[in-house]
Amino acid sequence: MRVRKIANAPVSFGVFELSDAPPPLTPDEMVRALADAGYEGIDSGPIGYLGTGSELTDRLAGAGLLLAGGWVDLRYEDADAYASGLPALEAALDVFAAAPAGDLPPRPTLACSSSAERFARPGGSVPGLPASDWPAYAARIQEATDRCRERGFEPAFHHHLGTYVETPQDVERLLELTDAHLCLDTGHLLLAGGDPVECLRAWAGRVDHVHIKDGDTKILAQALADGVDLRELMGRGGFARLGEGELDLPAVVRTLDEIDYEGWIIIEQDTLPGRRSVAQNIADQTANRQMLKDLGL
């Protein structure tokens, strides 16, 4: 039997940073809403949002949820900035180590900080990292990966709009230069010009964490025409509710079966604080969970 669990994440409620204010709902309200919708886990969101240590353990246990993982970004393009960010990585690993134990442990989700040029023009139209910078960049990703492994965690690197690992070609370069595993995000691939189904098949041996989100290239095109950045793209609904964008979700689910994927599947619908009501957010995530249930997940 494949071991798979379905989670959601605070980004689906507009929580990206601890400084986001006012919070759309309390952490207790969020975990309860997701548990009621049938989710088995939750991503940490910004480290500390769901608590740390016993506070985190008690909160998740009280809702019957496990910690699926959490986002840690580092500035791999800058040696000094990268080094200064390593304590935050270690602190995140401390949080994961204290989380409730389950048959699928939390997976550190490594990502690179934004590229200002690509953040302003997301979707793969802006040149990325110069070829000469890739070896050092990849070496730092490898070092962060190894640090996680030394602590007993297998991390997954998350390609992302607005960063130096945005397009399928960027991902291919990363996979070539490191032995890092991949968090494949269907929505970010879709809006960066990739085919999530083809990429799942091509990278099957390296994918061990999956974020399922939908995307709307029409909203992306309008955002680019209007000159707005990635943050506003999310606010405009560039990542749609499942079934309302262009993602071929049934094909994604079939492909996960074909490649014998095991692990966390995290549904995300990135939005900005205050763009939709809490009731709308909860209704969307309930509908998203039901859609996967209808497809056998």
Instruction: Give 183-236 pLDDT, tens digit per residue.
Output: 999 999 999 999 999 999 999 999 999 999 999 999 999 999 999 999 999 999
**What is the per-residue pLDDT for 21?**
62
What digits encode the pLDDT tens for the residues 139-180?
999 999 999 999 999 999 999 999 999 999 999 999 999 999
The predicted pLDDT at position 20 comes to 64
- pLDDT class of 2 with cuts at 50, 70, 90: confident
Question: Residue for token digits 């989100």?
Answer: 213
CB 247, CB 215: distance < 8 Å: yes
The predicted pLDDT at position 63 comes to 96
Cα–Cα distance for residue pair 61/83, rounded to 1 Å: 34
What is the pLDDT of the chain when averaged over all its residues?
95
Name residue 31's amino acid: V
What pLDDT does residue 1 have?
Answer: 60
The answer to whether 68 touches 5, Cβ cutoff 8 Å, is yes
Mean pLDDT of 118-123: 98
Range list of H helices, the chain = 27-36, 53-63, 79-97, 116-120, 134-150, 168-177, 186-191, 196-202, 217-226, 230-235, 249-258, 278-294
Predicted structure pTM score: 0.97
Question: With bands split at pLDDT 50, 70 and 90, how would you rate the model's confidence at 276?
Answer: confident
112 within 8 A of 76, measured Cβ to Cβ: yes
**pLDDT at 100 exceeding the cut of 90:** no
Determine the Cα–Cα distance for residues 138 and 144; give it in Å rounded to an integer.
Answer: 10
Ramachandran area for residue 274 (φ above 0: left; ψ -120 to 50: alpha; else beta): left
Q: Is the pLDDT of residue 102 over 90?
A: no
pLDDT at residue 262 above 70? yes
Q: Quick one: tokens of 210?
A: 């999956």
114 bridge partner residues: 163
* Mean local confidence (pLDDT), 23-33: 91
Supply the pLDDT for residue 101: 74
> Helices 278-294 & 27-36, crossing angle to 10 degrees?
30
The predicted model gives 53-77 an average pLDDT of 95
- The answer, yes or no, to whether residue 269 has pLDDT greater than 70, is yes
Nearest residue to 76 (alpha-carbon basis) of 109, 112, 115: 112
